Chain A
Amino acid sequence: MMYAVEVFVTYKESILDPQGEAVRNAIHRLDFEQVKDVRIGKYFEINIEKTEEPIEEVVESLCKNLLANPILETYRYNIKEVN
C-alpha cells in the first residue's frame, strides 16, 4: 500500500513575493487587468510507503524539517491512498 502525496509550499501571507509581482505585471501586459494577485510556490509529488507511523505525521515532519522553511513559508498537502 502506498500514499500519493502532494505538497504545496508558498510564502506566508505576510511575506512579499517579488517573483509573483513580476509575473502579475507580465500578465497585465497580456491585457488581463482583472488578475490582481499572483503568488508563486513550490509543488512536490511524493510517493510514500505505508508503515506503522501515521502518514500525516510523516508528511508534517517532511514539510516542517525540509520542504518548507517555517520562518518564511507555509504548506498544505493532499494525501491519497494508491495501490
Chain B
Amino acid sequence: MKFAVITFPGSNCDHDIYYAVGTVMGADVDFVSHHETSLAGYDVVLLPGGFSYGDYLRCGAIARFSNIMPAVIEFAKAGKPVFGTCNGFQILLEAGLLPGALKPNAQLKFVCDTIPLNVCQTETMFTNAYEKDTCIQLPIAHGEGNYYCDEETLAQLKENKQIIFTYAGENPNGSLENIAGITNEAGNVLGMMPHPERAMEELLGSTDGVKFFQSIINHLRKVTV
C-alpha cells in the first residue's frame, strides 16, 4: 500500500500530509513531482494544500495543466482513491474531477482557525473509521473556500450522497449549504477545504484527522484482501 503526495511549485502542505501518512499512520509514502507523468505503483494520490503556481489566474487553474495531471485523471477514472485538501480541492475542481467551483471567501478574509465539521457520510473510503453523525475538529486556512455549484449539481450531490463534510458551526467562507467537502459520483475522489493532515497529534490540538487516513487504509486493506 503506497501513497503518492503530488508536489506542485507553491505547494506548502506537502510535508504535513507526507508526515501524517508516513510517520503518524506508518504507511509507505513518496513525494511525486508535478514533472512526472506516471503514478504506476501507487494506491492513493494526495493533492496537498498550498498556493500552486502562486494561485495565478484562479486557484488550481494552472496546476491542472501540469505533466502529472493526465496520470492523476487516469488514476481517478480507474476508481482509485484521490484526495485533495484546500489547494488540492481547488485543483480537483479545475481539473473537472469534482463538480462545482470555489469562490473567494464571502467576507473577503483569509480564514485560519480550527472549526467543527459534520461527518455526513461514513460509508465512504475516506470516512469509514468515523462513527455515524460525528462532529470533528479540523483546521482550516484559506482565502478561496466558498463552494458554489448550480442547483442541478447540488440536487445530484444530495441524491448521490456526495456531500461528505459540512461546517457544523458558523459558515467560515459563505459556502453553499455549508459544504466543506464533496466526492465525485463514484465516491473515489474527495476534495475538502479543511486539513485532516494537520490534526494528527494531541500536541497540535486535535487527532480527529487520524480516522480520515485510517479510513483510506481500511478501504485499501479490504480491496487488497
- A residues within 8 Å of B by Cβ? 15-16, 18-19, 22, 42, 66-67, 69, 71-72
Contact = CB atoms under 8 A, between A and B. Distances in A.
A72 B104 CA distance: 11
Interface of B: 57-58, 61, 65, 94, 100-101, 103-104, 106-108, 148-150
Given A66-B57, A66-B61, A71 B108 contact: no
B41 to A, nearest CB: 31
A72 B101 contact: yes
Contact of B58 (A15, A22, A69): A69
A67 B57 CA distance: 7
B184 to A, nearest CB: 15
A71 B107 CA distance: 21
What 6 A-B pairs have minimum CB-CB distances, sorted nearest first?
Answer: A71-B101, A72-B101, A18-B108, A69-B101, A18-B106, A69-B58
Contacts of A15: 103, 148
B176 to A, nearest CB: 11
A19 B61 contact: no
A42 B107 CA distance: 20
